[in-house]
Chain A
């Protein structure tokens, strides 16, 4: 489905995701100062940066949890329509916002599973009530997804009765149940105990291997280096440098990035 395209090369070659010159201010604080990014089918892009560099805000602007003041976004070739109000962008249609969000999977740092529903109910909620698909079909798919992320035996448990790692895997499965075009991960392992990080990263790695298009805000350097095909380093609301993991970690990048990864090596 194509909504009024502006004559733009980004829309012509259909990327999974195109972001053009996003800007966002909170009060007088300019958090994003002009970010552009393209994700092709199957791209796994790690977004690195110290806290306050704007990487989470950037991700939240893509699925419209925050509305960027300026800039344009295409999801799978569909332009998100904005109107200007008081000098900033406002979505033209809340229907389109819901439809775009349904196409983007979002995984949060704090899991955010719905606590009054069992794991299985969490998984079928979106497909049944947002996509309005037949319940029996959704249940079958949800059980397969739970099998895949390794928590099939927890399908009738409530989120509060699962470990953090299990909850995050359930949250990933909940997003996948919507059959998203792009998956967005907002520091998916930052709230986990160290021994639980591995099980979540394994699920993400297998998703990447299946060709899912992913944007991952993370502090996991090994994931960025080994799993992603592109690394973006954000600093003070701008993309400081980006490239393949080989280029980025070879040392021939910006001084700021060298210093950033230096901190991780301790």
Chain B
């Protein structure tokens, strides 16, 4: 489903060049629950950003569902992300002036769906992530775990085939982190959505059915866990 082929990414800061990715190749199948792990600076966020079509690579190729996304123009990438990808961020990135309901529904409004459909789907997904009755609360009135549930609902509402999560539990305590991972796993199994998440937390790695370890911008190991 996702083919990453010899991808290189170099960041330039003045005269200094940092090789964030030094020729990474991997294939990801539909429905995988995959973790990209590694220490800080290993390139896991860069790889996630490249798969998520929000960054440009210097060399290599990425194709998703046989579409060479790395060759797409900016506008095409925006459309592709809108229709096919969901994102979960470490700091949730909810819009503070919108309610939980509005934060989730906004993704569907980008797809120009009718109001009734938006309402039905939003209420359903909020119920699914355990936020029934909290639809009208603003992020400031929700706990960190609840905010991340809103973010998960926001990522899943458009039924994307791929959800990318950058350190989704890094801002949560371990119990809440487990809850969130459990929820993500549940969604992965229920909707067959491919989840790719970055982490450097051992507990989070244990949840993944496939673990790709990065070190200095290269794949150190790629292991699938037997269920």
Q: Do A and B bind each other?
A: no
Interface residues of A (CB under 8 A from B): none
